[in-house]
A and B are shown apart, each in its own frame.
Chain A
Amino acid sequence: MGLLSNHESVVWKEFQKGKSTSTIAEENEGESWNPPYVSRVLNRARKKISQTLIDHAESHRLDVESLLDYKGILIGFDYQANTQVYIVYTERLGVIVWYRHDSYAGKLCPDCPKETECREALDAIIDEYNIELRPDEEALPMTQQSTAIFNKLTAKEVPRYKRREGDD
């Protein structure tokens, strides 16, 4: 069994697509969900994810810089590797720990032996967190593209208090 229960998983996915708790509740009225219930489920998911992110940061001996639990990302710093580290929760791959780097022992894509693994990890984050890259960002090597992805993820708007269209 994964980290999240079925309801938590559904709510987390929909929330990351930019839907507010009330919208998610409306869409699942058939299962008698209401906004307070969705909010409670989201909070449970958020707490589980933030605890997992902190656990991973501790096991990698990171200095935690910021924890954005609504976005499923923790930013830390590894003094041994002297680099920033991003820890992101994904449903597909579990927790992704990404050490910011310019090359893999001097090798860039496609010579890097980790190319497939990196692509898979970044694609999972892009898909699950609904991140859109510009064409020039898509053309970047993954070492630089990853920075753009994580920056977009941290700058992403949290839909929790988002007004519904037409509520003005």
Chain B
Amino acid sequence: MGGKIEGKVIKPPVVKVTSGKIFRPSKAFRNKQLVKTVAIAATIWVCVMASFVLMAYFLGYVEPEEYVSGAIVVGDWWMLYSNWTLGLNVLWLIPALIVWPIYINSIEYSVKAETGETMPEIYVKKGIFTITRKHVPFRTITNIYSGAGVFDRLFGVGNVNIETAGYSGSNQTGPEEKLEGIVFFEEVRDFILTELRRFREPYVTGTEMIYPKDEPVPRIEGLEDEILLTLREIRDLLRKESLERTQ
């Protein structure tokens, strides 16, 4: 008695303000990052071992009296160098392989509201320890570019990079926000481009407010000629009518 009793809640769905329809990076993006991380570790190992072999042969060749031949040095020290390099690589590789999937799982993007309309901002959420939710307003976007590197193309994903005027300084390099690891990245880019083209005024650098506008009449090739021809016809008719009145 006196505890929480059963009941009924009549609550309409609340429209989300911060984000709309959420989409996340593809699973292929996670796989790509894992393969890329392993590839970096392998590259480090190859570089270290190659420089060791080159150095051993170089010293054996340049000063044969002081140093034993390269083949002997490599034979004696290969395993030790290799194991040390692998051991040091594993120190960062294992945490990286654990952290990457968690980080990618935390990423959320949103450009469309639940209602299907475009959001006023592009929403990006990411982070493990410090979770950031960033809203980049469409009106502040100066340019966007999409790209797919070698690994991206191997895994069938791509990125859309969004730039604003605030990030054009010498210290702030790179885009304002990156939508990474998206399979349909070209469609996302086209959608953002279409929205950007609705802004007629130049991009915003301060606090000025601009709003997107839709064309009242669609621009069709030859429409201006049509309008001109119709106006000429009206002019001719008016001229004819005034002539008839004077006669």
- Which residues of A approach B to under 8 Å, CB–CB? 1-3, 5, 48, 51-52, 55-56, 59-60, 80-81, 93-99, 101, 103-105, 114, 117-118, 120-121
Among residues of A, the one whose C-beta sits closest to the C-beta of B13 is A105
A-B pairs with lowest CB-CB distance, top 9 = A95-B7, A94-B7, A94-B6, A99-B11, A101-B12, A97-B9, A104-B12, A94-B5, A98-B10
- 18 sampled A-B residue pairs with Cβ under 8 A: A2-B5, A3-B5, A5-B1, A48-B2, A52-B2, A59-B4, A80-B14, A81-B11, A81-B14, A93-B7, A95-B5, A97-B11, A98-B10, A99-B10, A99-B11, A101-B11, A104-B13, A118-B10
Q: Are A97's CB and B14's CB within 8 A?
A: no
Q: Are B10's CB and A52's CB within 8 A?
A: no
Complex-state Cα separation, A121 to B7, whole angstroms: 10
Task: Provide the residues of chain B in CB contact with A99, threshold 8 Å.
Answer: 9-12
Which residues of B1-53 are within 8 A (CB) of A?
Answer: 1-2, 4-14
Q: What secondary structure prevails in chain B residues at the interface with A? A: loop
Q: Are A52's CB and B4's CB within 8 A?
A: yes
Q: Are B5's CB and A52's CB within 8 A?
A: yes
For the complex with contacts A2-B5, A5-B1, A103-B12, 6 further pairs of A-B residues with Cβ separation under 8 Å are A3-B2, A81-B14, A94-B6, A97-B8, A97-B9, A97-B10
Given known contacts A104-B13, A105-B13, A48 and B1 CB-to-CB distance under 8 angstroms:
yes
Task: Provide the residues of chain B in CB contact with A48, threshold 8 Å.
Answer: 1-2
Among residues of B, the one whose C-beta sits closest to the C-beta of A112 is B12
Complex-state Cα separation, A101 to B1, whole angstroms: 32
Q: Are A97's CB and B7's CB within 8 A?
A: yes
B 104-141 to A, binary, CB cutoff 8 A, 1 in contact else 0: 00000000000000000000000000000000000000
Task: Provide the residues of chain B in CB contact with A2, threshold 8 Å.
Answer: 5
Complex-state Cα separation, A55 to B6, whole angstroms: 12
Complex-state Cα separation, A2 to B1, whole angstroms: 7
Among residues of B, the one whose C-beta sits closest to the C-beta of A106 is B115
Task: Provide the residues of chain B in CB contact with A120, threshold 8 Å.
Answer: 8
Q: Are B8's CB and A94's CB within 8 A?
A: yes
Complex-state Cα separation, A95 to B9, whole angstroms: 8
Complex-state Cα separation, A93 to B7, whole angstroms: 6
Among residues of A, the one whose C-beta sits closest to the C-beta of B11 is A99
Which residues of B55-72 are within 8 A (CB) of A?
Answer: none
Among residues of A, the one whose C-beta sits closest to the C-beta of B115 is A106
Complex-state Cα separation, A93 to B6, whole angstroms: 7
Q: Which of A51, A56, A101 is in CB contact (< 8 Å) with B7?
A: A56
